[in-house]
Amino acid sequence: MQSLLLPVGFALASALSNAIATVLQRQEALKVPSSSGFRPGLMLDLLRRPLWLAGIAAVLVAGVCQALALNSGPLAIVQPLFVLELPLALIVASIVMHRHLPPAGWGAVALVVVGLGIALAAASPTGNRTQVPLDRWLPALAVCGGAVAALAVVALRRPTGRTRAALLGTATAISYALTAALMKSATHILEDEGAAAFFTSWEVYAFAVTGGTALFLLENALQAGPLVASQPALTLGDATLSLLLGVTLYEEHVRTGWWLVPELLGLGLITAGVFALARIPLAETLVAAEETSGAAPPQAGQPLP
């Protein structure tokens, strides 16, 4: 149990840093022009905004903490802890925007926290393989890459709204989970073989590509539709796929049999909590209005329509 304190601590620090980044980036993403397709100029517009750059700095801190967590603990433990990003993001937003999280919001936060505790305690992931052979990576890369491409293509054919946001949120989740799996391998290469091996390993450049792809998809998902569509897909998809990658790539083990009952109970509580959080007014202020509304998103302190 003591050996898990370090990865859990780093994972929680990473989740908090990502939550801060989420608040800053989402507010800034709403202040630049949107479009019906992927717009490369979106990133150039955002690079001119200091608060968005501050969010990127928080992302970098989160990345370092995540790397340390993945280096010292199982993927199946570290990544599911990132479901706490949404509750933390809303708590941070309530402070930054001087808004109160309603009692229903705190109840939803409790559902996520309790559900996560039950699910992880029941699953009790073990194992911390440090390297994965290439013949295992190839199917994972092909399946994940193909899924991301397919979801992006289908999303582009849909109008701005819930469906498009959900598709892009799912594609982002897959990209994030794959990035974490690659990052875990890269950190162990750095630790075991040194900087020269690290900078010449394909995993390093692969997680840089998948991480950049995830960021690009996320920014487009934020403008595609309401949070209630994109965030559950992103949060639950990342945690679920990361657990699967931990089991299939890194030979991590989770308990099955009757333990599946509390695991599913925990997952149900997390799902209910995430959907409830994504529906509260404070969450709606952090995403673009749906295309059908034609209205600008409300500013802090303004009533919602």
- Strand partners of residue 126: 253
| 194: alpha, beta or left? (left if phi > 0; alpha if psi -120 to 50) | left
Interacting residues of 244 by C-beta distance below 8 A, sequence separation 6+: none
pLDDT band per the 50, 70, 90 thresholds, residue 294: very low
Quick one: pLDDT at residue 288?
43
pLDDT tens for 165-196 read 889 999 999 999 999 999 999 999 998 888 99
Take residue 123 and report the two structure tokens written for it. Answer: 């699953």
CA 211 to chain centre: 11
Residue 60 near residue 14, CB atoms below 8 Å: no
Distance (Å, rounded) from C-alpha 282 to C-alpha 54?
Answer: 21
Average pLDDT over residues 151-163: 87
Closest CA relative to residue 251, chosen from 131, 140, 129, 143: 129
Interacting residues of 255 by C-beta distance below 8 A, sequence separation 6+: 122, 123, 124, 263
The gap between the terminal CA atoms of the chain, to the nearest Å, is: 49
**127 phi and psi, to 5 degrees?**
100, 145
Residue 283 near residue 227, CB atoms below 8 Å: yes
pLDDT tens for 15-69 read 999 888 878 776 666 565 555 445 555 556 666 667 778 878 888 899 899 999 9
Take residue 115 and report the two structure tokens written for it. Answer: 């559900």
What count of other Cβ atoms lies within 10 Å of the Cβ of residue 30? 18
Quick one: pLDDT at residue 129?
79
Give the CA angle between residues 96, 90, 113 to the nearest 5°: 140
Closest CA relative to residue 79, chosen from 45, 147, 125: 125
Residue spans of alpha helices (H) in 73-201: 75-78, 85-96, 103-123, 134-156, 162-193, 195-199
pTM, 2 dp: 0.79
Give me the helix-helix angle, 202-224 and 162-193, nearest 10°: 160
Average pLDDT over residues 76-88: 89
Dihedral of CA atoms 94, 98, 103, 104 in degrees, nearest 10, equals -50
Interacting residues of 118 by C-beta distance below 8 A, sequence separation 6+: 262, 263, 265, 266, 269
Quick one: pLDDT at residue 265?
95
Distance (Å, rounded) from C-alpha 261 to C-alpha 194?
Answer: 43
Distance (Å, rounded) from C-alpha 48 to C-alpha 56?
Answer: 12
Distance (Å, rounded) from C-alpha 176 to C-alpha 243?
Answer: 12
Quick one: pLDDT at residue 179?
93
